Amino acid sequence: MTLPAIIGRYQEKITVNQLKQTYSLLSQAFALAIEENGTVDTWCDIPSTSDYTTCQHNINNIISKYVKKIKECDGVNTFYKKACFAKEYANRFNDTKWSVPHNRPSFVMINGTSASFDSQNGDRYHNLWCNQKVSSSPTGAYNNSCGTIYVDINSIRNPNVDGKDLFSFTIYQDGIVPTGRAVDTVWVKSFESQCLGKRYHGPGGCTAWVIFNENMDYLHCDDLSWNGKIKCSK
């Protein structure tokens, strides 16, 4: 391998470890928060209020009590000033950009990872909001979640690209899971559609692959799958 390739692979290992640590920290925070405050569906009242903004602030405020932070960002006026996230993120397949909405509450954890909370579920069906648990979420439980956590493992620093330093987790009543699992078959969440770019829509589809397979080989080959090849050929 050439020196740039060796350096690149080393950085990928760092990313894998950072993302796994982030998953552990956030999972522990949700477990403690749920034990003391009840399941996530009781933290908000979206079916009656239709107020996703209030809900994502509620989730952030509750989880913040169980996470060690080095920086907080909350609101349009402070989001970029305090710089929890970059202004925009690229995908790996075309020139389109994606940005974390400014009004979402965010913070930087003690390990240097930024986290931003969104309380919308799938296509925003209020009657289906947050009505599934992790253990009982059916295949492609797209409209039944409580929201999404977007994370940038190195905050505002480059590369600011989906699948390289930007990832996401899906929130359910009793915890969180990395986006893009084998059971996430709805195209807007699936590994094949999102991470491999076969039908790219938004960020986060590489998260489960990195955590469970402990590699980022999707950056080097496009024939990976949960039921087949999980590493590129050497």
pLDDT tens digits, one per residue of 95-137? 788 887 666 889 999 999 999 999 988 777 788 889 899 877 6
Which residues 6+ apart lie within 8 Å of 213 measured at CB? 230, 231
Average pLDDT over residues 161-186: 94
What was the pLDDT predicted at 78? Answer: 47
Torsion sign, CA atoms 36, 21, 108, 176: negative
What was the pLDDT predicted at 211? Answer: 98
Which residues 6+ apart lie within 8 Å of 92 measured at CB? 161, 162, 163, 164, 197, 219
What was the pLDDT predicted at 200? Answer: 78
Predicted TM-score (pTM) of the model is 0.92
First CA to last CA distance, the chain: 10
Average pLDDT over residues 128-153: 83
Predicted confidence band of residue 139 (pLDDT cuts 50, 70, 90): low
Give the tens place of pLDDT for each residue, 39-92: 999 998 776 666 788 888 899 999 999 999 998 886 544 444 567 888 889 988
Give the tens place of pLDDT for each residue, 178-223: 999 999 988 888 999 999 998 877 789 999 999 999 999 999 999 9
What was the pLDDT predicted at 21? Answer: 97
Token pair for 40? 């996530």
What was the pLDDT predicted at 77? Answer: 46
